[in-house]
Structure 1
Amino acid sequence: MSKPKKFDRNLIVIGAGAAGLVSAYISAAVKAEVTLIEAGNMGGDCLNTGCVPSKALIQCARIAHWTRRADQFGICVAEPGVDFPGVMRHVRASIERIAPHDSVERYTELGVEVVQGQARLVDPWTVTIALNSGGERTLSARAIVLATGAEPIVPPLPGLENVHYLTSETLWDRCAKLDQVPRRLLLLGGGSIGCELAQAFVRLGSDVTLVEKESRLLPREDQEVSEALSRALESEGVNLLTGHEALAFIGKPNRIGGALRLRNAEGETQVTFDEVILALGRRARTQGFGLESLGLVQGGKLEADAYLRTRYPHILAAGDVVGPYQFTHMASHQAWYAAVNGLFGDIKKFPVDYSLVPRATFIDPEVASVGLSEGMASEQGIAYEVTRYALDDLDRAIVDGAAQGFVKVLTVPGKDTILGVSIVGENAAELIAEFIIAMKHGLGLNKILSTIHTYPTMAEANKFVAGNWKRAHAPEWALRWLKLFHRWRRG
């Protein structure tokens, strides 16, 4: 495999999800010749089966939930009726309205050549494309970015082949065919996807059971966050089964519904369902691109260094296919490094900055975090102090009927340096942004405290938690001196 002396393109990007789109956009912006290849829908999982449809569904469910709560605000309305086909029309309309942002037309206008077809590497510099329209095309490139995304994990559970299971990808087509919300819904997996779907469907009228093998939901988050999340889901009627291991499915081929055998510390039990959704995480999508033949994939895992380079330095990877964080915002973040290192890496290369990766789960109340949790700090032997502010004390939260949750900040002992933040509450994913900026630029809680925050807003919670830290660290000797000073001033 000898390196060509000339190339058709500066960069070829395989996959038009978040990582691929941003990589292509950046490359075109610096006037490189770039081709973006996608066999499926532009926008990838986030637009078509992930972030966008799930958040549209969550919003519909949220409206139903708030309608039921209307009497708490003196508004008398009847129990809301859920037109599930109408809900799915809103989901589809949301995708269609956002789709032009990721379209072939837009990226062509930006200077990107978009080719729709299945890409396959035949050597480290050459890609063949089985065109969706028929025929084949071959292109060479000086650098290649793999942005092929990830796919839902389907476990080898006995009996799974006998039930009509759904995943985060197949869920939407199935729901589009339903006249009403599933009566009995089983969700397997207590991560962000499972929790979000559980709350959305229970609010839309399903009887929801959520099963998680671990002892708590969102095990990567702070223990206190997991507990708040569990209370919220159970208070709305979700049958929450943590610490339960799935043993086997019971069902009949070509029949909807079935049962799942479970085991916990107390023995075995069984849950029946009409629909079951597997929400057990996602794994890198590596098959079908010729990666194995080049030795880029080992045991289903695509390895890349700190600069996102594979074993061939000119072949880079970004987004869910390489991890370590499978978030759309991380895919976009990595895409800058992939594009720049692919185009200019032999002159100057940049390691990816993973220092501040925010996480969010869009249930109600929202969960958001950045940096260290208490568990992480303890595992790493990092000393910390904890400062909290409860949202039931916040004026805006009270008037909005959202007085639940908290802001929790970990700091260096005796200093206002922020180590990590966890927020549970209304708009937590928005509130966390101020802390991310502060941590990114080395600003402590004193700087947040000295910044004017509009009244009345949820963002005041950030200032008030900083105020709690300040009060806890006020020097006693100075306060005693001030007391004497004021006594002397009174005469």
Structure 2
Amino acid sequence: MNYTHDVIVIGGGAAGLTAAGGCALFGLRTALIEGHKMGGECLNNGCVPSKALIASARRAAEAREEKRAGVQLAAPVVDWSGVHKHVHDAIAHIEPHDSVERFEEMGCEVIQDWAKITGPKEVTVGGRKLTAPRIVIATGSGPLVPPIPGLDDVPYLTNENLFDLTEQPDHLVIIGGGVIGMEMAQSFRRLGSEVTVIEPGNVLGRDDRDSAAIVKSVMEDEGVRFVQGKAAKVSGGEGAITVSTDGGEEVSGSHLLIAVGRKARTEGYGLEELGIALGKNGIKVDQRRRTNLKHIYAIGDCREGPRLTHVSGYEGSNVVLEIALGLPAKADFKALPWCTYTEPEVAQIGMTEQEASEKLGDKLTVVTEGFDHNERAIAEGLTKGHLKVMLKGHKVVGASICGVNAGELLLPFTQMITGKSGTFDVGGAIISYPTRSEITKAAAFAAWEPTVFGPWPKRWVAFLAKIRRMF
């Protein structure tokens, strides 16, 4: 067959950009198709704007603390137009990294239009028919909007329009206590809005329960209100919206944010007509991210599985190995990290304590180190939080961290879980003093402490001491 391209990538977010850029740099004729904005969710209404907003909120929180460590600060004055500008300046600053021009320089043919797969190896876009022996679907996900009675009749926010607000909400009501809900709840509260979070289960439900409890307590102290319950009905209108819960409570606010999860974007791309198998929330794939049509891959948020920007980039790289180099690359998530950027942060890699307990039973050992014993944290006066390390013997199977910059402490655990390093190596490493990363060394050494100071080493020490006393 006379193909127009070697590979066609549909979607210009983290997954698609990595896959298309890598294939093009290897010299493959690569078509990159994006129907909306280059950079996808992460750049335009996800990671970048949310972290920029969190940065503004942190500055306000620091000033609001008035006096700490002997230094008096003035109360913060929040200029919402300035906050809005900071958020969009961050997006604009990073945009060139994901731009059409940059990927054309790499060798991609970038087509800005909506695509549809119209044959096993054919994609129609902008009136053109493209063909390739390999197709990569990277269409991402969008906010999941639950079928709450009355929701369609009131104005509501999702992450897709939240960062376009030109006026600060007086009272932001958030349905959902997951990552987005918690990060935005703390940020808007710190910037001066009243905030109420409605969540039927545990906040940060996929994280360590002790870590989530610390964050919730901090946020409550800062003035965030939590309501346990499921949103049963929404009523009202612009500037005055009421959410009624299944427990009979009514919460009224000026703005409503829906943050209950993500939904894979799979409709309108010709997948069902082609016979590509779909799961409950995304395209079904194997470990190599191949669909049931093995020459078509699905990577990133559009497929079933974890929805994280770094996972999308990882899968994009794997697809490059598959398509460009012919090297089978299976996704391996046993050392999957993630972080929620509240303050304190909640970071996780591998199994949580609950998951490890269910899987390992009495073979599990949990080592816990508190930041209240970390000398850098003590010197800073920021000791909330802890590190938990889940062990099977001396092998790390997971780690949960809650504290300042917790996400920055995950890297050594990637190496330990994958076997590229071990607790003995880390426990004996020289760590710069004073740093928060010393807590990692302390936990790693604690894994070996019963062995190092066990009966046989003590007998050997006693024997050597006895010999020395004889001379």
Q: Please, what TM-score do these two structures have when normalized by structure 1? A: 0.91
* Correspondence for 1:247 among 213, 228, 232: 232
Report the CA distance shift for 1:183/1:487 in structure 2 as closer, same or farther (over 3 A).
Answer: farther
Cross-structure match for 2:163: 172
Asked if residue 162 in structure 1 is aligned to residue 138 in structure 2, the reply is: no
Which residue does 2:250 correspond to in 1?
Answer: 270
Where does residue 170 of structure 2 map in the other structure? 183
Match of 2:42 in 1: 46
Is it true that 1:257 corresponds to 2:253 in the alignment?
Answer: no
SS of the residue 1:288 aligns to: coil
1:370 paired with 2:345, answer no
Does residue 235 of structure 1 match 2:218? no
One-letter code aligned to 1:150: S
Written as runs of structure 1 = structure 2, the 5 A alignment for 1:342-491 is 342-343=323-324, 348-382=327-361, 383-412=363-392, 415-473=393-451, 474-479=453-458, 482=461, 486=465, 489=468
Specify whether residues 376 and 235 from structure 1 end up closer, same or farther in structure 2 by C-alpha distance, changes over 3 A only.
same
In structure 2, how many angstroms separate the alpha carbons of the residues matched to 1:302 and 1:481? Answer: 59
Question: How far 1:285 moved relative to its partner?
Answer: 0.4
Query: Would the alpha carbon gap of residues 425 and 8 (structure 1) be closer, same or farther in structure 2, given more than 3 Å must change?
Result: same
CA distance in 1, matches of 2:460, 2:296: 65
Letter in 1 for 2:140: G
Q: Comparing 181-190 with 15-24, which one deviates more in the overlay?
A: 181-190
Among candidates 285, 305, 322, match of residue 303 of structure 2: 322
Relative to structure 2, which stretch is displaced further, 93-102 or 477-486?
477-486
1:271-325: CA deviation from partner (whole Å, max 9, x where unpaired): 1111110000001001121212112254663111222111211111100001400
Q: Matched residues in 2 for 1:121 and 1:303: separation?
A: 17
Give 1:355 deviation, angstroms: 2.1
The partner residue of 1:336 within 307, 311, 317 is: 317
Distance 1:469 1:70 in 2: 41
Residue 28 of structure 1 deviates from its aligned partner by: 1.1
Amino acid at match of 1:354: F
Relative to structure 1, is the Cα distance of residues 444 and 300 closer, same or farther in structure 2, using a 3 angstrom cutoff?
closer
Q: How much has 1:486 moved relative to structure 2? A: 4.4
Number of the residue aligned with 1:12: 8
- Is the Cα contact below 8 Å between 1:163 and 1:256 reproduced in 2? no
Residues 1:349 and 1:87: Cα distance change in structure 2 (over 3 Å): same
Unpaired runs of 5+ residues, structure 2, are none
Inter-partner Cα distance in structure 2 for 1:54 and 1:331: 18
Instruction: Name the CA shift for 1:54/1:486 in 2 (closer, same or farther; >3 Å).
Output: same
Q: After alignment, is 387-396 or 288-297 more displaced? A: 288-297
Q: Is the 8 A contact 1:307 1:350 kept in 2?
A: yes
Alignment RMSD, CA only?
1.8
Instruction: Give the match's secondary structure for 2:248.
Output: strand
Segments of 5+ residues of structure 1 without an aligned counterpart are 131-135
Amino acid at match of 1:306: Q
Shift of 1:392: 1.1
Match of 2:116 in 1: 120
Relative distance call for 1:297 and 1:154 in structure 2 (3 A) is farther
Task: Give SS of 2:369's match.
Answer: strand
The one-letter code sitting in structure 2 at the alignment partner of 1:154 is: V
Q: Is the 8 A contact 1:144 1:342 kept in 2?
A: no
Mapped to 2, the partners of 1:472 and 1:394 lie a distance apart of: 21
Contact persistence 1:286–1:297 (CA under 8 A) = no
Equivalent of 1:220 in 197, 206, 221:
206
Deviation at 1:438, TM superposition (A): 2.2
- The reply to whether residue 202 of structure 1 matches residue 193 of structure 2 is no
Could you say if the C-alpha distance between residues 404 and 480 of structure 1 is closer, same or farther in structure 2, counting changes exceeding 3 Å? Answer: farther
Aligned counterpart, 1:133: none
Alignment counterpart, residue 106 of structure 1, candidates 92, 102, 106: 102
The equivalent position to 2:25 in structure 1, one of 22, 26, 29, is: 29
Tell me by how many angstroms 1:379 deviates. Answer: 2.5
Cα–Cα, structure 1 residues 381 and 410, in superposed 2: closer, same or farther, change >3 Å? closer
Separation (CA, whole Å) in 2 of partners of 1:401 and 1:230: 20
| Mapped partners of 1:320, 1:11: distance in 2 | 20
Instruction: For 1:271-286, list aligned pairs within 5 A.
Output: 271-286=251-266
Letter in 1 for 2:284: E
Shift of 1:484: 7.1
Shift of 1:38: 0.5
CA 1:285–1:481 in 2, change beyond 3 Å: closer, same or farther? same
Q: Does 1:72 align with 2:63?
A: no
Deviations 1:204-261 (A, max 9, x none): 11111111111x112222221222222122121111123x111101214xx2321111
Structure 1 pair 190/417, CA: closer, same or farther in 2 (3 Å)?
A: same
Query: Does the C-alpha gap of structure 1 residues 249 and 16 become closer, same or farther in structure 2, counting only changes over 3 Å?
Result: same
Identical counterparts, % of pairs: 38
Note if contact 2:212-2:346 (Cα within 8 Å) is conserved in structure 1: no
8 Å contact from structure 2 (residues 284, 304) kept in 1: no
CA contact (8 A) 2:388 2:399 kept: yes
